[in-house]
Structure 1
Amino acid sequence: MSSKSTVLITGASTGIGATYAQRFAERGHDLVLVARNIEKLEANAAKLRQQAGINVDLLPADLTDETQLQAVETRLRDDASIGILVNNAGGNVGGTFVTQSVGDLTKLVTLNATSILRLSHAVAPRFAEKGEGSIINISSVLGLAPEWGTSVYSATKAFVLSISQALQAELGQSGVYVQAVLPAATRTDIWNFVAEDKRPPMMEVAEMVDAALVGFDRREGVTIPHLHEEAHWVAMEAARKALMQDTGHTSAASRYLAAN
């Protein structure tokens, strides 16, 4: 058994989640892998056990199913060996807001946002009491781009960014680290519903995850692997904070006052 903390990773059967599993296994961490596809989980686990000599537990679960989501919450609450949570599971729905069904959109919100809220809430008290632990939340740069035509997906990713920053501000005082990772276009299965000739240039998954882990090791609150000019993010955060400082007035702005 590894002397390092166990890592629980959702959406661990393919893509970003499977690559996080590979990288944490290479670092000597035992794993708990969560996903719907048990066959792919078993194949990944067998490979990781052989290559890295670590323990891998499988927890098949559809995080949009209440009972199965509760099972993952229980594991996070009760398993004191788990010291890192990677909230990676997510998806998208083809079409536009007016053509997508409300059932599909509600399920998307449950997967992309509600599950991250609940799994983080399940583990945060234990982490805070212990004074250590890490939560990695996979958001997206589309969380910063509501105008790009993926309305509900972008909204869920904005939620992930916001709650990650809020939890880092709150839990960081207790020694807990929360990282939001904001990839841009990355070659994963989420693009399967988009025709090949309609897809943008993409970063390979391994490069994205490796960059995100550099940010993790540096304890960045927000990591944007595709962003080359860090000054753009710094300026955006400075502008946001300046805007908030300018909202503490008790009278309406002059542009909203009725003309005399």
Structure 2
Amino acid sequence: MPQLSGTALITGASSGIGAVYADRLARRGYDLVLAARDVARMETLAERLRGETGVKIEIIAADLTRDADVATLEARLESGDITLLINNAGKSLNGSVLENGPEEINAITALNVTAPTRLAAAAAKVFVAKGEGAIVNIASVLALAPEMFDGIYSGTKAFLLNLSQAMSAQLAAKGVYIQVVLPGATRTEIWARSGKDVDAFPPDFVMEVEDLVDAALLGFDRREPVTIPPLPDEGQWTALQEARLALGPNLSKRAVAQRYASTVTEAA
């Protein structure tokens, strides 16, 4: 597949997955628009990448729990020169639904669901009009494992998986490539920010962030709609997809399924 080129907008670009995407995409020749709250860290990253790669780098201070900052990035996407959106910004919670109140729940929903949805929608409209472009949504393997940890974080990531698959089905024929990446546990600052110790996990449980992004970009080059870097057997994902799709003809019918029927035929 030929690679896209042009300018990539990366959210959550000051550290972790976003910063590594910035590094890798700069080395592929993309100009960058970096968006995050920590401007100082983005400036340090941008200075290094400009020196090493010569690409153009723009920095936008953005807290994507704030409507006005999301609108700023929507406007930047609508300016028309962006060819790739990396929807990476996100957060986890310290504790479960029992330990968090409305403020914390609103914040994670705003950052993990509302912001990436609005940005993906803004980008998609521009890309469809041009007939090309790509959107990468960073979800999580917890989208497939709701029983693990708290259901709020995994629910937000399941939303991104659902959104990405729907957009991929609807927009592929219009020249827009949608990839959703499902990392497993990855060594980033999200753990400490949510009060968790990543080193408490077994060593073979946690992926290094550089390995995660490099694998995700290989999936991007292959134009995979769903990329799960830690999954050894792709057939397991394929089987899950096939089983899910097989449900389709039976998910909406006029009649109640016999197993829920309120009357039972008496034996003769």
Same structural fold, with TM-score higher than 0.5 when normalized by the shorter chain = yes
Specify whether residues 253 and 155 from structure 1 end up closer, same or farther in structure 2 by C-alpha distance, changes over 3 A only.
Answer: same
Match of 1:237 among 220, 235, 241: 241
Residue 66 of structure 2: aligned partner: 65
Contact 2:7 2:30 (8 Å CA) reproduced: yes
Residue 22 of structure 1: aligned partner: 23
Map 1:202-241 to 2 at 5 A.
202-241=206-245
Deviation readout 1:216-252 (Å, 9 max, x if unpaired): 0000000000000100000000000001122243211
The alignment status of 1:120 with 2:120, answered yes or no, reads yes
Q: TM-score, normalised by structure 1?
A: 0.96
The count of corresponding residues between Structure 1 and Structure 2 is 257
Contact 2:87 2:116 (8 Å CA) reproduced: yes
Task: State the alpha-carbon separation in 1 of the partners of residues 199 and 128 from structure 2.
Answer: 47
Contact 2:187 2:198 (8 Å CA) reproduced: no
Residue 143 of structure 2: aligned partner: 143
The 10-residue stretch of structure 1 (29-38 or 147-156) with the greater mean CA deviation from structure 2? 147-156
The alignment status of 1:44 with 2:45, answered yes or no, reads yes
Task: State the alpha-carbon separation in 2 of the partners of residues 53 and 247 from structure 1.
Answer: 53
Task: State the alpha-carbon separation in 2 of the partners of residues 38 and 106 from structure 1.
Answer: 24
Q: Is the radius of gyration larger for structure 1 or structure 2?
A: 2
1:156 CA drift (Å): 0.3
Map 1:127-166 to 2 at 5 A.
127-166=127-166
The one-letter code matched in structure 2 to 1:44 is L
1:197 CA drift (Å): 5.3
Match of 2:258 among 251, 254, 259: 254
Task: State the alpha-carbon separation in 1 of the partners of residues 115 and 102 from structure 2.
Answer: 18
The alignment status of 1:88 with 2:92, answered yes or no, reads no
Specify whether residues 196 and 71 from structure 1 end up closer, same or farther in structure 2 by C-alpha distance, changes over 3 A only.
Answer: closer
Deviation readout 1:145-194 (Å, 9 max, x if unpaired): 11112211001000000000100111111010000000001001111111
Task: State the alpha-carbon separation in 2 of the partners of residues 68 and 247 from structure 1.
Answer: 39
The 10-residue stretch of structure 1 (141-150 or 42-51) with the greater mean CA deviation from structure 2? 141-150
Q: CA RMSD in A?
A: 1.3
Deviation readout 1:17-62 (Å, 9 max, x if unpaired): 0000000000011000000000000000000000001000001100
Deviating above 4 A after TM superposition, structure 1's stretches of 4 or more consecutive aligned residues are: none
Long gaps (5+) in structure 2: none
Q: TM-score, normalised by structure 2?
A: 0.93
1:196 CA drift (Å): 4.8
SS of 1:155's equivalent in the other structure is: helix
Identical amino acids, percent of aligned pairs: 47
The one-letter code matched in structure 2 to 1:228 is P
